[in-house]
Structure 1
Amino acid sequence: MEGGDISSDGELNISSVMEARSSTDAQNLYLCGLITVLPVQRKTLKEGAKHYGASYKYRIRALVGENTKEFNVCRKAFIAIHGISKKKVEILVSSLKETGYTPQDKRGKHTNHLNKLSLETLSLVRQHINSFKGRGSHYSLKDSTKIYLSEELNVKKNAYNKISYESYRQVFCRDFNISFGYPRTDTYSACNEFTVKIKNLESEKLENTENLQISMEIKRLTTENTLHKKKAEMFYSRKKMAKKNSRKNSNTEAICMDFAKNLQVPNIPTNDIYYKRQLSVYAFNVHVLSTSGSYFYVYSECEGKKGSDDVCSLLHNFIYSHLDPEVKHLKIFCDSCSGQQKNFTFFRVLHNLVNNEKRLESVVVTFPIRGHSYMECDKNFGLVNQKSRAEVPEDWLQILEDARHSPTPFNVINVNHILFRSWTKFLDNSYPKKSPFPSRPIREINIQRRALLQYRTTYNGAWESALLQGEDRKSSRLPVCHLKDNEFRLPEYSYEGQLTISAEKFRDIQHLKKCCSREAHEFFANLPHQ
């Protein structure tokens, strides 16, 4: 309905034509078409009376049947029906009385702004920004136009020297979707393989348009690539749902865990570090999805390793020391590294935690599609400046503590070799030594208060079961102390003392310590070595 404000039964329409007309000039033109300026027919002769130069007639349009008709209304009704102000009407009638034309909107059309950028300058600025070579994110499962530039750049470094920094920043932020800091690049070979094959086939198709086999192959590869990404997206959907549930239920929690990239000490600005071996520092991150709290277990290679026993020890410590005691149902999201968590030792530790230690009632572990394991742990470590100066492992503890301020700083825990336990050897007494099922294809495992462990190889497939503790495995052989409630026996220590480093690495570190402080000299001199 063009201009209709009243329906055929006399009721006001909810949607006004004023909203349909986007520009101010279009609204003014419509409203002025409903106002008629009339000369004053009778003037008062009273002394001091105010004389008006004209009188005004107001109308509205309504749909009656299939025809649009106009009805005379008072000024107050005209204002209320169109949802405009009294000042707006005064401006319109004043312009009609003085000029006979609709007023024009002149906002933003002034020419007295001396510092306004010309169209030519804006074009040069946009060309300058477009000249930077960036790349997209492999982990963006949905279509995104965001481009990433090197982390070494920033807006100030990139600024066009012919205009001010603030003007350049406004164009950069308003007209472009660019961020600094490259996303993770460890893309799965399948994604790259699909892309390359499809591009090659499309090139062949241009040369041979009548070959139907090429079109069929392109369609097949496109379908497989879409299916691969849908499977990857399912992992993130599960994680998102677990995060919502953990915020609603106090007895449920969801965590992500992963090792960060190895840090090095001494990490100093000298060319020698490119040719000399350094001491590795490991950082194991556990991120609590419900609160966004994050815990970093930090230790050097002299205190522990990164195997399955080490991961189980760190997770066991987190559950008993930092997980809310009310939590009885835990969901874990981690990558599919077979040497760390996707192995039979890890599964047995969780089963022992539920059935023997009885700390939890259920545990569900979800593994992602390979190459699509970007989680909150990776975001957390992305906040850490890996180029910071660190002479000894304690320096990295402080750097991690200062890396995040919102919503809370990282909880950094300094770990020594006493924390690590020999879980594999310990559980061989009460569980099978060899896994009764292949662990590589598993996508989810579900552990509850029973001898069976459930697993499945697809996110929505049927659950399969494996018996971990049968009738022949009596309770007397279980690694649990039944004399008192809530007590259990821990495995023996994994390491009798600090681990040694190779003689070659020790020699390289002694060469590098010359650029460090006296405290670092003492630390490196006492490193255990072969």
Structure 2
Amino acid sequence: MSTESEKEDSDPFHSSESEYQPSSQSSSSECETVEPVEVPEANGTIKKKKRDVKSWKRNMQKVKRAKGETYKSITSGKIVPSRTQGSDCKCEKECIKRLSPDEKNELFSSFNDQEKQDSYLSSLITVSQIKRRRKNNLNINPQRNYTYKYKLRKGAFELPVCKQALCLIHGIGKKRLERIASHLTANVTPVQDKRGKHGDRPNMIPKFLRKQVREHIESFPNKISHYFRARSSKQYLSPDLNLTIMYDLYLKKFEPENYKLKQDELPFKPKICYDFYGRYFRENFNISFGRPRKDTCKKCDMFENKIQGAESEEEKFRNPKKTTCSRV
């Protein structure tokens, strides 16, 4: 008996009933008081590929809008037409007519990125203070203190144009030029795209909850492959586990009220939903359930063939001790 217990202690692939339960080193009260810290990155190759943020509908819409292409609005569902150039600015200098069609198309086609667009437009605007005012308006509060000049780059030369011509050639509105000009007068350079870069994130999962999820996943005992440990860093959990069971254990430990509602099949709104738990598991851990098919020896294969070829249940479990080897 003592030799069998020693083998079980030294065998890395020996399993017991309580082995695959999460350890109780940390409690829910401890996790609630954890300070927000940066969660370390996972080591090794991740099991599943990460989310492709560029393929999201709102991000694809943002890119198409910046490029001036036709897109369907997510909020209203309307089809927004593509950006087009204007024909004539109708000013005395005839700014647009001084450019050839090829030069106008070249400027228009290269205009396809939001932040680069704003930086490019800011370089075409010159801001200067008003040098002289009319005598009749000296005692009146001035409505503006700066004057703006616009230009286009034609090869190595700069071509002065009016505000209307600059808007028509690039297919933009006057308000966008006015916004960029206001940034220049306030010395806010370079102009950055601030869409989606605010601090109001009501649906964002706090860092201490992410750390709590990570610690819960790491609390399950795992094993590495016996024969392929040098080739792969993948870890394996018990075949009796799956993401649903692990998530239920998480709710039972950290959100018992929501766990009770889930068991009673009542609507509930947990802090950590099942989708986030599974996504975090796939993107930050290189873990699978069970063990690799190649991780067996000749003795394991022999017993497995005998079990599969058994004609009755009695013959299959006649001698349980001989149906497994010490590595399973």
| TM-score interval, normalised by the smaller of the two chains | 0.3 to 0.5
Q: Which has the larger radius of gyration?
A: 1
TM-score (ref. length: structure 1): 0.24
Q: Which has the higher relative contact order, 1 or 2, with Cα contacts under 8 A spaced 6 or more apart?
A: 2
Task: Normalising by structure 2, report the TM-score.
Answer: 0.35
More strand by share: 1
